[in-house]
Amino acid sequence: MTATREDPEGDGLLARAHRLDVAAYRALTARSSPGLDAALAAASQAANFSRPWIATAAVLALAGGSRGRRAALYGIGSVTVASAVVNLALKPLWPRRRPDRTEVPAGRHVPMPSSTSFPSGHSASAFAFATGVGAVIPAAGALLALPAATVAYSRVHTGVHYPGDVLVGSLTGIVLARATTAAFRRLGL
């Protein structure tokens, strides 16, 4: 069998990183708690299409005055950029298969996405929003880090991502949000 980006073989850096990621995935998905399983599956599903970030931006824009509107713009702008870069540029460049979740309890499964696994778009969007909002209202950004981390971890817990997908997605979201907010500032927004 020839090694591919989906399943790297051998002793190279990618193969070692993949094996480490699979081991971390198995360790994290082996733990089960019915209440936690249900909550994390719900968090994962709720974050589809950036719904919590859009709702939070609406609250900020409607109730937060001019600073809240600016934070909402920065947050949604950051999500838009992160989502576009991850889904339209990075995922096609790295066609990594989704994890085999046969050992993940069925009660915590969410629908398996049809896109490739790397990097996690949910994680990128979650951290992009928190970072974008935090550029305007640092305390709000810090508070949003908790739901962002919850969504990111939920993607591993439900069996649809490896930990490395989530880590790279989260970091990508942060970096792209910083670039987006810097561009907004240069534009006087």
Domains, the chain, ranges and CATH? 13-186 (1.20.144.10)
43: its two tokens: 């968090």
Q: Per mean pLDDT, which range of 98-107, 121-130, 142-151 is the poorest?
A: 98-107
Q: Per mean pLDDT, which range of 31-40, 63-72, 171-180 is the poorest?
A: 31-40
In order of 59, 114, 189, the CA distances from 166 in angstroms are 27, 17, 30
Residue 170 has pLDDT above 70, yes or no: yes
pLDDT by residue (tens digit) across 44-103?
Answer: 999 999 999 999 999 999 999 999 999 999 999 999 999 999 999 999 998 899 999 888
Q: Tell me what pLDDT residue 1 has.
A: 33
Q: Tell me what pLDDT residue 5 has.
A: 53
Instruction: Provide the whole-model pTM.
Output: 0.91
**Closest of 41, 4, 6, 37 to residue 21, by C-alpha:** 6
Q: Tell me what pLDDT residue 6 has.
A: 56
Burial 61-80 (b: 16+ CB within 10 A, else e): beebeeebbbbbbbbbbbbb
Q: Tell me what pLDDT residue 182 has.
A: 98
Residue 113 has pLDDT above 70, yes or no: yes
Average pLDDT over residues 102-112: 89
Q: Tell me what pLDDT residue 85 has.
A: 98
Q: Tell me what pLDDT residue 129 has.
A: 99
Residue 21 has pLDDT above 80, yes or no: yes
In the block, tokens 């970091």 appear at 171
Helix (H) and strand (E) counts for the chain? Answer: 8, 0
**Closest of 16, 165, 42 to residue 99, by C-alpha:** 165
Share of the chain above pLDDT 90, in %: 80
